[in-house]
Amino acid sequence: WKMKHKLMQVMLEREKGKKLSGRIEIDDAYIGGGRPGKPGCGAAHKAPFIAVVETEGEEHRPQRMQLRTVSGFRSAEIERYAKTSLEVGSIVVSDGLACFKAVGKAGCHHIPFVSEGGRKGVEHPSFKWVNTLLGNIKNAITGTFHSVSLKHVPRYLAEFEYRFNRQYRLDDMIERLAYVGLRTPPMPYRFLRMAEVGG
């Protein structure tokens, strides 16, 4: 557990500070659920995060992605994220969730597509890749681990993000991870056990 979380911490810190640009798909999501208590999106056992995908070409093929935990889907949170993680002038496509308009305050162009709920909304062509990757993320995490502590969700998301963003450099991924690991500040066990802050 300790070694895995140290490696995931390296991945998390390596991905911070990088910016996406061009055409971008963004969507809201949660990890968790299925426990007794308060139902709905505000339940304490759910961790909210945003999935953001940079696409390219006429087919909008995914190039890079970011997975960032947020304290909630509020304009201030999205504005904070956009100012640190999106290039000015990027075109951000969303499902029309009100908070996503805040990317405009970071100099991005927001294009909302208000789609139907349920399966039809998921299959909307404007969100093809972000929805595909969200499905892959949830299957990868819940299918691999019996339990994921919500306070460590940022690290688990960072692992998926790190691997995806290096899909075209698989031959040296392990070597590069070792390289950046040696240059990442130490993370003692007592800090590993602490909750991560929002992405």
Please tell me the predicted confidence (pLDDT) of residue 45.
73
With 50 as the cut, is the pLDDT of residue 199 above it? Answer: no
Cα(27)–Cα(50) distance, integer angstroms? 6
Q: List, for residues 147-197, the tens digit of each pLDDT value.
A: 677 788 898 899 999 989 988 877 888 888 888 888 888 877 777 777 654
Confidence bin at 93 (pLDDT 50/70/90): very high
Domains of the chain: 18-171 (3.30.420.10)
Rounded average pLDDT over 103-130: 78
With 90 as the cut, is the pLDDT of residue 77 above it? Answer: yes
Strand partners, 89: none
Q: Helix crossing, 2-15 with 173-182: angle to 10°?
A: 90
Q: Helix crossing, 153-164 with 128-144: angle to 10°?
A: 120
2 three-state secondary structure: helix
Contact between 157 and 9 under an 8 Å Cβ cutoff? The reply is: no
Instruction: For the full predicted model, state whether its pTM sits above 0.85.
Output: no
Which stretches within 60-147 are classed as H helix?
75-85, 118-122, 128-144
CA–centroid distance for 5 within its chain: 18
